[in-house]
Amino acid sequence: MRILFLGDVLGRAGREAVAAQLPELRRDLRIDLAVVNGENASHGFGLAPDMARTLFAAGADVITLGNHAWDRKEIIPFIAETPRLLRPLNYPPGTPGSGSVVVALPDGRRALVLQAMGRLFMDGLDCPFRGTADVLAKYRLGVTVQAILADIHAEASSEKMAYAHTFDGQVSAVIGTHTHCPTADAQVLPGGTAFQSDAGMCGDYDSVIGMVKDGAALRFWRKMPGEKLGPAEGPVTVCGVFVETDDATGLARRIAPVRVGGRLAPAMPV
């Protein structure tokens, strides 16, 4: 199975770039499953239903969220009726929506997509490790599902790495989100799980993690609230990860970074 994961979509510029690039990426890389993190799509904070519909229309099979899941209140009824829009699975019981979904591909293959949120320097949610283990206990990689993709939305790279090594051999890929900076550690772990600490963002990198740099930098200089943060609107680099798996085992054959446009050096799977 050929999987494309795109990192945090940042603001209007990020939405427009993904809407333009995702159909081409799906075609050129012959993608079977496309997953997009959309939690920053609305001015950097949350996702509105119409924005989710645009990303789905562009070719996203699943959209994941994160710590900004509820910043747009109108997403609450929408997520309850949209199974392919995921919030972290370790929110407490009773939280609207779901943290995992099984996607049936047109050829009959099935893929499980899940998202967990880390706890280091983040909100004190339920344990992402135990929550993930509970979900994985319901499936057999390579048997009941041909691939399993986990989005670990976390601040600390150590927590993302620990999560990936914990589930190495149990999932096809663990891809980190949240920090908006693409990491250079794409690898297939010893047990056969593809991993990258952070997929990066789909946004303007002439910024502070996608936000206008002057106001964001001033907050560090003065250590007091300043002007309201807004998304940078310059040329966007669409950042993500490509993973190819073996249908018989569900494990990864290869992983490669994807970077298109904007300021960062381009990268594309050979």
Could you report how far apart the first and last alpha carbons of the chain are, in Å?
A: 16
| Confidence band of 123 (pLDDT split at 50, 70, 90) | confident
Percent of the chain topping pLDDT 90: 91
In a domain, 209, yes or no: yes
Handedness of CA 162, 163, 164, 165 (dihedral sign): positive
Mean pLDDT of the chain: 96
Say which DSSP state 229 is in: P
| Confidence band of 226 (pLDDT split at 50, 70, 90) | low
Q: What is the pLDDT of residue 74?
A: 97
Annotated catalytic residue within 43, 68, 153, 180: 68
In a domain, 196, yes or no: yes
Structural domain boundaries, residue 250: 2-260
In a domain, 269, yes or no: no
Q: What is the pLDDT of residue 31?
A: 98
The Cα 66–Cα 159 span in angstroms is 15
Count the neighbouring beta carbons within 10 Å of the beta carbon of residue 218: 14
| Confidence band of 214 (pLDDT split at 50, 70, 90) | confident
Give the model confidence (pLDDT) of 145-204 as tens digits: 999 999 999 999 999 999 999 999 999 999 999 999 999 999 999 999 999 999 999 999
In a domain, 168, yes or no: yes
Residue identified by tokens 């994807």 is 258
In a domain, 265, yes or no: no
CATH number of domain containing 207? 3.60.21.10
The Cα 93–Cα 32 span in angstroms is 32
Q: Is 68 a catalytic residue?
A: yes
Q: For 84, left (φ over 0), alpha (ψ -120 to 50), or beta? A: alpha
Q: What is the pTM of this model?
A: 0.95
In a domain, 219, yes or no: yes
In a domain, 268, yes or no: no
In a domain, 266, yes or no: no
Q: What is the dihedral angle through the alpha carbons of 248, 250, 251, 257, rounded to the nearest 10 degrees?
A: 120
Higher pLDDT, 218 or 255: 255
Q: What is the pLDDT of residue 1?
A: 98
Q: How many domains does the chain have?
A: 1
Give the model confidence (pLDDT) of 60-118 as tens digits: 999 999 999 999 999 999 999 999 999 999 999 999 999 999 999 999 999 999 999 99
